[in-house]
Structure 1
Amino acid sequence: MKKAGIFAVIAASAGLVGAGAVLANSGPGRQGMNMTFEKLDADGNGEITQAEVDGLKAARFAAADANGDGALSLEELQAQGMKKAEQRAAGMLERHDANGDGVLSQDELPKPRRSGHMFERMDADGNGTISKQEFEEARNQMRSNGMGKHRPGQPEVTEPEQN
Structure 2
Amino acid sequence: MRTIRSALLGTALAAVALPALAQPTPPPPGGPPGMFARIDANGDGRITQEEGWSFVQARFAEADRNKDGALALEEATSARLMPPPPAAGAPPAPPPREMGPMQARIVAMMFRAADANRDGRVTLDEVRPLAEARFRAIDANGDNGITMDELPLRPHHHHRGPHHGAHGDRPEAPPPAR
- TM-score w.r.t. length of structure 1: 0.40
Name whichever structure is richer in helix by fraction. Answer: 1
- Higher strand fraction (1 or 2): 2
Q: Which has the higher contact order (CA 8 A, sep 6+)?
A: 2
